[in-house]
Structure 1
Amino acid sequence: MIQVGLAGWGDHDTLYPPGTAAKDKLRTYGTQFGIVEMDSSFYAVQPMERMTRYAEETPEGFGFIVKAYQGITGHLRGKPYYENDDEMYQAFRESLEPVMLAGKLTAALLQYPPWFDCTKDNVRILRETKKRMEGFPCALEFRHQSWFAPEYREKTLAFMREEGWIHSVCDEPQAGAGSIPIVLEATTPEFTLVRLHGRNVGGWNQSGAANWREVRYLYDYSQEELGEWKDCIDQLLRQSAKIGIIFNNNSGGHAANNAKQLMRMLDLPVTEIPRQLDLFNL
């Protein structure tokens, strides 16, 4: 089984008729894609009432990838919102429960920062985190290439399998230590996540620039590149029963079109929403 979707549902203008209210976008999105990545949860743990509403607004079989709160993955800068780690993890777990109970939590995504390298201390952090998240499916994504350096690659994958981490396979620019290669290995037989970030090498390491969010994910996948990924997905399907594919190349508005291009290549049904009234087809 393959599900294709996007990072977020609010910023993809081509998916909605003009004038669509923000509150109605998730329902419309759910008629076109079977999975979505929620990144608002990275900036603030979402209230249970909101997560319940999201679960109710999406069809049966729909899946959420919920990005873990930034305090959990070590991204947080400034004063912590929570008194301690126990309180932080409890809040995140409670936030996930409505989606989990609805059968729509595909995974909580724990994406670690570029400075989170392959060390014994960080391996201990991952073990502790997985223990704290027991009972919830958790996907793990690295941003430091040391985890997949030749001397650690197989040990990293074996560790993920042993601990029950879902592998978040990445397509991203190869731009130094803060980027990882494509590693086409499943670590759980039930599910593998694929996140396509684009290949904008020049924009990848511009986090100090004022507009870095606008340029980092500015990329339009070519037909040839998507064809390469079709073959990669076939390879992953031999290892996992289900593959979730998230397009995160949002900066230039390319993600939705690329996702539908790939869906056609995979012979998945594609739904197009009319964006304006055809006056001659009443």
Structure 2
Amino acid sequence: MKASPASRIRIGIGGWIYPDWRGTFYPVDLVQRRELEYASRHLTTIEINSTYYGAQRPESFARWRDETPDGFLFALKAPRFAMNRRVLAEAGPTIERFLTGGVLQLGAKLGPINWQLTPGKRFDPEDYARFLELLPTEAEGVPLRHALEVRDTSFCTPEFVELARRHAAAIVVSGDSDYAQIADASAPFVYARIMGTRENERLGYSSGELDQWAERARTWAGGDTPGDLATFGKPLAAKAGRDVFLYVISGYKARNPAAAMALIERLGAS
């Protein structure tokens, strides 16, 4: 199958403030307030992590929107106060506060929201189904896309895959990590987080590894699922194409921007 245009593939990192990126990613003389402006001209998406730890001011979202170019998208980590609880179905008030607390200021630059569970949280089908019913498809006219980052192997079941598909929520693909890997397509987009960058690789990954992730991204964008990643649900027929969000996260963090830019170069997605 011929892949969709590379413009459907967005590659980025987690956050944009990290001291070790000074001189390795950011020019040494770049003032810190211009780091997002710089990063958004070299990457095509960024996952905002600060929203996981606490509320951000509406003015901050508006400023981030205005500092980035047209076509740039932010993914957001959903608040831990929604996810780190025994009963997920009781997260409704927290979800509402999050969605009405300024995130919609991003407007057309709002990408997927990553609802990340802690590693020890096991799959409770009834509770998780009720939780997914709390996630709206739009808010104040802004379409919402949801990604489900589950980390326990109890989610590696056809039942979870079908549940995600019913809600058109993407299952986050955890790459190069010890977390459960579930690569089943379940939404009109794919959300991948790869975590294997190493200090001894100038670009974080070897050339062959970068080629492999670039090819997987092309496969996703073309509507298929890579054959070398673990899946658990019923195979789906290939679609016309999917948007792809791939973030280089964790690993040897100092190398993550270099790995992301190397993938963008391979994909022609800049």
| TM bracket, shorter-chain basis | 0.7 to 0.9
- Residue correspondence of structure 1 range 66-145 to structure 2 within 5 A: 66-74=76-84, 85=91, 87-94=93-100, 95-99=102-106, 101=107, 103-131=108-136, 136-145=144-153
Q: What is the Cα deviation at residue 91 of structure 1?
A: 2.5
- Residue correspondence of structure 1 range 58-69 to structure 2 within 5 A: 58-69=68-79
Task: Determine the C-alpha separation between the residues in 2 that align with 1:88 and 1:55.
Answer: 24
User: Where does the alignment leave 5 or more consecutive residues of structure 1 unmatched?
Assistant: 77-83, 201-214, 270-282
- In the TM superposition, structure 1's runs of 4+ consecutive aligned residues that sit over 4 Å from their partners are 84-87, 131-135
Compared CA separation, residues 75 and 172, structure 1 to 2 (3 A)? farther
2:183 aligned residue: 184
Task: Determine the C-alpha separation between the residues in 1 that align with 2:251 and 2:175.
Answer: 14
Compared CA separation, residues 26 and 242, structure 1 to 2 (3 A)? same
Q: What is the Cα deviation at residue 104 of structure 1?
A: 0.5
Choose the corresponding residue for 1:171, options 169, 175, 187. 175
Choose the corresponding residue for 2:193, options 185, 195, 214. 195
Answer 1 or 2: higher relative contact order, Cα 8 Å, separation at least 6: 2
Task: Determine the C-alpha separation between the residues in 2 that align with 1:242 and 1:69.
Answer: 24
Could you report, residue by residue, the CA deviation over 1:89-147 in whole angstroms, capped at 9, with x for unpaired residues?
23210221101x2x001111111111221123442453244259865221111111111
The size of the alignment, in residue pairs, is: 233
Q: What is the Cα deviation at residue 252 of structure 1?
A: 4.1
CA root-mean-square deviation:
2.6
For the pair 1:30 / 2:40, whether they are aligned, the reply is yes
SS at match of 1:244: strand
Report the AA paired with residue 224 of structure 1. Answer: G
SS at match of 2:254: coil
Report the AA paired with residue 263 of structure 1. Answer: I
Identity of matched residues, %: 21
Report the AA paired with residue 258 of structure 2. Answer: N
Task: Determine the C-alpha separation between the residues in 2 that align with 1:111 and 1:133.
Answer: 20
Task: Determine the C-alpha separation between the residues in 2 that align with 1:30 and 1:199.
Answer: 21
Task: Determine the C-alpha separation between the residues in 2 that align with 1:186 and 1:104.
Answer: 23
- Residue correspondence of structure 1 range 232-243 to structure 2 within 5 A: 232-239=216-223, 240-243=241-244
Q: Which moved more, 1:46-55 or 1:226-235?
A: 226-235
Task: Determine the C-alpha separation between the residues in 2 that align with 1:232 and 1:171.
Answer: 11
| Greater radius of gyration (CA) | 1
Q: What is the TM-score when the length of structure 1 is the normalising length?
A: 0.74
Compared CA separation, residues 241 and 127, structure 1 to 2 (3 A)? closer
1:275 aligned residue: none
